[in-house]
Amino acid sequence: MNPTHDQRLRFAEAFAYLGNQKNAHALEAWLSPQAELSLPAAFSMGNITGSGTIAAFIQAAIDSSDIRSLAEPALLDGEPVCLIWKMGAIPTRLFIDRFLEVDSDGRILKFEMVDDRDQVDRAQPVREDNLNPLTFDSLYCIREVSSAYSKEGGLTILYGNLSPEGAVVKTAGVDPEMLVHEGPAVIFESQEEACDGILGKIEDKKVKPGDVVVIRYEGPRGGPGMQEMLAPTSYIKGMGLGKSVALITDGRFSGGTAGACIGHVSPEAAEGGPIGLIRNGDMISIDIPNKKLEVKVSDAELASRRAEWTPPAARMNFGWLGRYQKMVTNAARGAILQLD
């Protein structure tokens, strides 16, 4: 018999154990999404799995209070991409099925995290003698809490005089040598200009190791629409600068972004935020472990620049995007539409 077919047949036979109504009802309750679904659980899972910065964005849109502290440990690394399938719901079940890592009640073994803050009555854990050894290196996939990639999760919210209302970085994708970085700002007024600068097409704005690329006027209002900064981050890595250049923007990133890429800087440039006041050469200090994002400019100098600042002309002043640009909040407030 075909080995794969044989394994799935045995898997199906195991489910026959659920023939009586009591056990079938118990399994149905355990598998119910509603039994596990909650906003805190969703945000925690995003942090645990090293999700993209969009998780903080969504939370801000749902919750009007400050972005909650994202303190769960990061148990999965998004790189290399080829391993992501091992964490997925259906792919993981199929993978574990192949190696008979499913017990007779259909529960996935060794893949339970119990949160004592959660009042959900979970299924009882399976007996220790039912556990089969994993056939892949768990330290290279979904880790135990004791060997987490980081103790405080995949996302970090940074505050400082450059981001008074916060900015977000996907800590799980930052190289250790870039967790603390200080360098001169190289400022671009759009994603397109930044791409040209990173590729060396702008003579007076060539990006070199140690620099901090700043892309502004790409936030919800400035864009408008807050497009992904995927191209600039890809070019930074492609130019061999991923471990020596940081990127800061009031725009957002793709879930596949890696490196010292800090987004959602709020207030955004289009509403007069500090990111719109910095100048080429200003020293930018990034301290991810201490959750700090600063520009080495005095408060008096920033105030003087603010007095001279004038809002740029709207990129869209008609149609839906024109309305959106007038009504949208910044990223720290979820980029939702408000009438006031």
Catalytic residue among 254, 266, 285, 298: 254
Q: Catalytic: 254?
A: yes
> Could you write out the DSSP letters of every residue in 274-328?
GGGT--TT-EEEEETTTTEEEES--HHHHHHHHHH--PPPPS--SHHHHHHHHHB
Q: Which residue has the tokens 């809490």?
A: 145
| C-beta separation of 178 from 237 below 8 A | no
State the DSSP H helix or E strand holding residue 263, giving kind and residue range, or none if neither: strand 261-266
H-helix segments, the chain: 3-15, 21-31, 33-36, 39-48, 54-62, 89-98, 191-198, 230-238, 299-308, 319-327
CA atoms of 166 and 182, how far apart (whole Å): 18
User: Could you count the other beta carbons within 10 Å of the beta carbon of residue 216?
Assistant: 25
Mode of pairing for the β-strands spanning 212-215 and 292-295: unpaired
CA atoms of 144 and 177, how far apart (whole Å): 25
CA atoms of 154 and 76, how far apart (whole Å): 9
User: Torsions phi, psi of 25, nearest 5?
Assistant: -65, -40
DSSP state letter for 72: S
DSSP state letter for 134: P
Q: How far is CA 114 from CA 108, 122, 124, 145, in A?
A: 14, 9, 11, 11
The total number of residues shown for the chain amounts to 340
The set of catalytic residues is 254
